[in-house]
Amino acid sequence: MEVRKVFKAGNSFAVSIPADWVREMHLEEQPVEVTRNEQGEIVVRPITSPVSHITPKFYEAVDRFVTEYGDILKGLADR
């Protein structure tokens, strides 16, 4: 177990992952799935079967888009 601090990252919050865990799981700059289970725990797992035509650059672009426009999109969805 590692104790980590939650910190602000743009319009989101983040938690750092120990570097040795990242290396062991081969997560360096790879897309991951982040979910919350029924117990309220946050689960991070590598995407093991990515869609072949979606590149890491696309994931990065979507992440930037959601970071920049997430509040606006949420506001539109709540209308």
Q: For residues 34 and 10, give the distance between their C-alpha atoms in angstroms, rounded to a whole number.
A: 18
- How many domains does the chain contain in total? 1
Residue 49 lies in a domain: yes
Q: Is residue 29 part of a domain?
A: yes
28-69 per-position pLDDT tens digit: 888 888 999 999 999 988 887 656 677 888 888 988 998 999
**pTM strictly above 0.85:** no
Q: Is residue 48 part of a domain?
A: yes
Within-domain flag for 15: yes
For the record, the structure tokens of 21 come out as 């865990």
Is residue 1, in this structure, part of any structural domain at all?
no
Domain that holds residue 65: 6-77
In a domain, 21, yes or no: yes
Q: What is the pLDDT of residue 52?
A: 67
Q: Model confidence over 42-52: pLDDT tens digits?
A: 998 888 765 66
Residue 58 lies in a domain: yes
